[in-house]
Amino acid sequence: MKFINHSGMSLIQVLVFGGVLSALALVGTSMINDQKAAQKGAQTQDDITILHQAVTNILQDKKYCSATLLYNASMLSSGWNTPTSTPADIEAVYLAQTTAPNTQTGQPFIKKAANAQMNPRYMNGNIFISSIRVNFPLNRFEIDYNRVNNKAYVAKSVTKFVENIIFKTEAGVNTCFASQEDVNLNLNQKFCTSLGTLFTWANNNCVLADKNCSADEVLTGIDAGGNKVCQPVATYLDWATLVDSTVSCNPSQTPATRVYLEVVGGKIRVRCTN
C-alpha cells in the first residue's frame, strides 16, 4: 500500500526528508557550539593576556613590588635570606598604600584561589590564579593562570612570567623592582636586528656593520633592503666655501716654519708659525 499526502509526496519520502532536516539541524547546532567554544577559548586567552599585563605593570613598580615582598614576608623569609633554586610560594601581589600618620598598608591586587569553585575569580569569572611564586635565582615572578569551564569547573593552566626583577635589601628592607636597563636593552636589540644587514648589535649598542665607503664617498643612509648608500663627497661639500687660501705658508723657509690648520670664520686655513 502506498500512502500519498496532499502534496503528492509518499509517506516514506516525508520520513526521509524529515530525517535529513533533523541531521542538518544537529550538524548546525554542533557547529554553533564549536564556534562558541572556540570564541570562549579565544576570549579567555585574551583575558589572561590582559590580566597578566596589569600584573606586570604592578610588579615593575618598586613600591608595589616591595609591598608584595613585605606582606608575604612570613612565606619568603627562608627564600629571601638564602635563595635556592626552588621558587617560594606567596599568597598575593599587593599594592602599597599609605594612611595617616604615614602607616603603610597593603591592598591585594591579585590573590590565588584554592580551586575553580573558590573566589577570587577574575575577568568576569573566567580566570582564577592557582599559584604565585617568587623565583629569586631567576629574578622573576611566576604566575599560574587557570581558564575556567563554568559548566564543570574544569580549568586549564597557563604559566606566565614577570621577568628582569632585581631583588635587593636596602637599609634592612627587602625591595624589588624591574630592571628597566635590561628591558630597554632587549627592546633595543630587537629593533636593531630588524633594521637590516647594515646594522649589528655589539657591546649593547646598535652600530653600523659596514660603514666603509670607497674613497671620496660618504655614507648617507640605507636603502629599502637595509644596505648602505654611499654618495660622492663633492655632492655634499663645496671645498671653495670651506678652505681659506688667502694665507700662504712655506714650511721649507728659514727660519723653520711649523704648519697648523685652524678654523676662522667658519673656514679652514693654514696657520704658519716659527
C-alpha cell at 30: 554542533
Q: Which helix (H) or strand (E) holds 262?
A: strand 258-264
Q: Map out the domains of the chain as residue ranges.
A: 11-178, 184-235, 241-273
Statement: residue 38 has pLDDT above 50? no
pLDDT value at position 194?
80
Contact present, 192 and 207 (Cβ < 8 Å): no
Strand arrangement, sheet containing 88-90: 88-90, 127-135, 140-149, 154-162
Rama region for 265: left / alpha / beta (φ>0; ψ in -120 to 50; rest): left
Alpha helices by DSSP H, 125-258: 180-193, 239-242
Q: What is the mean pLDDT of residues 152-166?
A: 86
pLDDT of residue 155: 77
pTM of the model: 0.53
Q: What is the pLDDT of residues 86-122, one digit of tens each?
A: 788 999 999 987 666 666 678 899 999 988 888 999 9
CA 116-122-126 angle, to 5 degrees, is 60
d(CA 186, CA 83): 26
Say yes or no to pLDDT of 6 above 70.
no
Q: What is the mean pLDDT of the chain?
A: 77
Tell me the per-residue pLDDT of 206-242, one tens digit each, with 9 for 90 and over.
877 777 788 888 888 777 776 778 888 877 777 677 7
For the record, the C-alpha cell of 162 comes out as 614577570
At 87 the pLDDT is 87
Determine contact, residues 204/185, Cβ cutoff 8 Å: yes
pLDDT the model gives residue 92: 95
Per-residue confidence at 144, pLDDT binned at 50, 70, 90?
very high
Contact 174, 184 (CB under 8 A): no
Rounded to a whole number of angstroms, the distance between the first and last alpha carbons of the chain is 135
